[in-house]
Structure formats: C-alpha cells, structure tokens
Amino acid sequence: MKTVYDFTVKDRQGNDVSLSEYQDKVLLIVNTATGCGFTPHYDPLEAMYKEFKEKGLEILDFPCNQFANQAPGTEDEIHEFCTLKFGTEFPQFAKIDVNGENADPLFAWLASEKPFVGFGRGLKNAALKKFADMNNRTFGDKTYIGWNFTKFLVNREGNVIARFEPTVDMKDVRAAVAAELEKKA
C-alpha cells in the first residue's frame, strides 16, 4: 500500500526532497496562495507549527496559482511574503499545480485517499462552491482540490487520515492535529 513516504517533491530551489525524510512525523500538507481570502490561515498554521513542532508536527506548504491566479509570484517572492507578513518557519516547497493534467502526483494521491465532499453549509460556503466550480471547470475529472488552503492530515505511518477544506475552522484542524500527535508511533 502506498504512503506519503513514496513521494518525492521539489523544494523552493528545485531540488528533489523525498517525503520519507518526514517519516514518523505527523504531517499537515497544505496548498496555499498569497493573495487568497484564506491567506490569514498562515497565522494559525504557524502558531500550530511553533506549538507542536517539538511533538513531531511538520507542516508542508505547497504554493499553487491555479485558483484565480492568487499565487502569481516566484517561489522566492512567495517565501518572502510568508516569512515577512506571517513569520512562517515551516517548510515551503516549489509552486505546483494541484489539478489538471500537470497536477503534482502527491496531491492527486492525497485527494484520492480523501476525496472532496464539499465546502460545508452556509451562504459563504455556497458562494465559494459557485466560484470554485467556475474556476475548476477546465480540470474536469482531474479536479482534485477545490480551493486554496485545503489541508491533509497524515499520520506517523504516512497514511492520510483527514482532509480539511479551507472553510473548516482552524480550531477544528488544530484539535485534529493535537489528537493525532497524542498517539505514539
């Protein structure tokens, strides 16, 4: 059975990074954008990272420009924005596609393990669904991710155990991460 450790990704400089380097860690893997309405998620993500890094959490940040061109900069510009505005210290990787023919295999696999089931209820979620559907129409059956700041929680064995759409309250994400960290490898 495939795990997250079977994947290799690119760091911001274009070097290969085997995710096996994160073996025995709890991972929160996120596709991000610097110009999105959900960009303030960087604050609770960084707070979680500072609080839980010593307990075995790693947050892996993958910028993506596929959602209304909300991450238009270079890897260096995106990294500078995140570190200066939000003080992020968790690993940030090369900008990728998460949908379509050029979707990064990691995100295609993550989404196959925990498929999209909707943004939730309420007017704001319905509005995001309408906007996301228009944006993602071109990806057809290769639409894996609904929008920026989709988060996947991976246990210490490398298995995807939860998916959080950007509309999920970050307190709920934090609670799930904390609960997973309490489990010992």
- The pairing of strands 26-32 and 151-154 is antiparallel
CA distance 143 to 103: 9
Rg value, the chain, Cα: 15
Give every CB contact of residue 5 below 8 A, 6+ residues apart in sequence.
Answer: 18, 19, 20, 22, 23, 158
Distance CA 23, CA 12 (A): 21
> Does residue 36 carry a catalytic annotation?
yes
CA neighbor of 151 nearest in space, from 7, 19, 28:
28
Rounded Cα–Cα distance for residues 169 and 38 (Å): 11
- Which is catalytic among the residues 28, 36, 60, 71? 36
Q: Do residues 84 and 115 lie in contact, with contact meaning Cβ atoms separated by under 8 Å?
A: no
Catalytic residues: 36
